[in-house]
Amino acid sequence: MQNLSQNDISRRQLVRNAAFIGIATGCAAGMPDAVGAVNDKLFEIVLRPTHVYKTADRSHETTESWIFSAIVQSSSSSVFTPTLMTVDLLKRGVLLRSSHYSETGLGPLTYHSSLTPLLADGSAPPTPIYWPFVVRLRNTEPITLGVDEMRIELVATDSGGRRGALTAVVPIETYHQKTALIFPFRGKGIILQGGATNGGHRNRSGSFAIDAFGLNDAWSIQVPGNGKTNADYLGWARPIIAPADGRIVRMRDDRPDQPIGDESNPKYYAEEFKKLGGGDPGNHLVIDHGDREFSMIAHFMAGSMRARDGDQVKQGQVLGKLGHSGDTTAPHVHYQLQSGPDWQNADGLPMKFVNVTEPFLDRGTYFEAK
């Protein structure tokens, strides 16, 4: 699926990928030394994703990165302005480093929203809640530092002049994958887009998602031509296989392919994604592998899917063909590991494949899936 700009996040991620779950972090506490009298009940903070996982970087500096959204949640429809933030990095409760942000420094990290969040089933919460603004936080730190918590102290003022403050403690976790996965196609390929810390997918369940083109034995991506037909792309119609044993718990197979090979035309999106401006996975399915790990595979070729909702599948079983359905600028496969069956309300999970030797499947990585 396509990358999202910061404006897209406000419009899409908050609508589709962030169901209301209540307070997600820490305990509330006022900050009288910083701002004088404050109201520590004026707002709360929720996280998207709900668990923050760090992953190693492809870097000579042996660093690791993580990224998440701290969403300010309030029972008031007032406009809020963030004015001060302190971020502490900790290891086993010991302070490693602090960063301080003034209102000016917070600006580039913050975007505002007038949206009202929904419950996971799409219904409105019994008591109205509001998400007036979101702070997007990204860190890259030496692995040897061993950061395992972030403490966020945030001060904001509402349109009535009331000043609120909150301290939230966010665990920074390392995910331990349970399912032995194989890549969803065999042969040579290239990663065209990675996850959020690699400058790629930014939605909640796609935090670690990858988009891959199929290549031929000479590592070429296209046959000679202008790329205007789907068949110009050498991955087109390649068999897509099950990454591991499991049961199909979500499926959609009624979408047409984009007719032009290098174009994502909104005319061919499903109606709900036309309204959102994109993000359509097209023909896709989700496989439950157990242990709260689910594979989502998207953009199957129209009419190619061989499995059905509820089917038990085996690792390596052909599920369909690589296609160009949904919001996609060229034929490719989108893959992500996620924490639940609904890609719109699950957390993304870091993943590795046992049949790929490259340690990092970042943007621009060539690989061969045996």
Q: Is residue 49 situated within a structural domain?
A: yes
Q: Is residue 181 situated within a structural domain?
A: no
Statement to judge: residues 218 and 298 lie in one domain: yes
Distance CA 198, CA 337 (A): 16
* pLDDT tens digits, one per residue of 194-252: 999 999 999 999 999 999 999 999 999 998 878 899 999 999 999 999 999 999 999 99
More confident residue, 129 or 351: 351
Query: 47, 50, 34: which is closest to 153 by C-alpha?
Result: 34
Q: Is residue 178 situated within a structural domain?
A: no
4 pLDDT more than 50: no
Statement to judge: residues 129 and 204 lie in one domain: no
Domain total of the chain: 2
Statement to judge: residues 73 and 136 lie in one domain: yes
Q: Is residue 231 situated within a structural domain?
A: yes
* pLDDT tens digits, one per residue of 51-65: 999 999 998 889 999
Range of 121's domain? 6-173
Statement to judge: residues 212 and 357 lie in one domain: yes
Q: Is residue 155 situated within a structural domain?
A: yes
pLDDT, position 33: 32
Statement to judge: residues 280 and 337 lie in one domain: yes
Asked whether the beta carbons of 73 and 196 are under 8 A apart, the reply is: no
User: CB burial class (10 A; 0-12, 13-18, 19+) of residue 266?
Assistant: exposed
Report pTM: 0.88
Statement to judge: residues 228 and 155 lie in one domain: no
Q: Is residue 275 situated within a structural domain?
A: yes
Please compute the mean of the pLDDT values over residues 163-179 and round it to a whole number: 96
Q: Which of 173, 201, 217 is at the close of a domain?
A: 173
Statement to judge: residues 167 and 288 lie in one domain: no
24 pLDDT more than 90: no
Cis peptide bond N-terminal to 359, omega within 30 = no
Task: Report the chain's mean pLDDT, rounded to a whole number.
Answer: 88
Statement to judge: residues 224 and 338 lie in one domain: yes
* pLDDT tens digits, one per residue of 179-200: 999 999 999 999 999 999 999 9
Asked whether the beta carbons of 72 and 132 are under 8 A apart, the reply is: yes
Q: Is residue 180 situated within a structural domain?
A: no
Query: Angle at the Cα of 312 (from 310 to 316), degrees rounded to 5?
Result: 130
Q: Which of 173, 203, 231 is at the close of a domain?
A: 173
* pLDDT tens digits, one per residue of 323-348: 999 999 999 999 999 999 999 999 99
Statement to judge: residues 159 and 208 lie in one domain: no
Statement to judge: residues 235 and 329 lie in one domain: yes
* pLDDT tens digits, one per residue of 97-144: 999 999 999 999 998 876 667 766 667 788 888 899 999 999 999 999
Q: Is residue 182 situated within a structural domain?
A: no
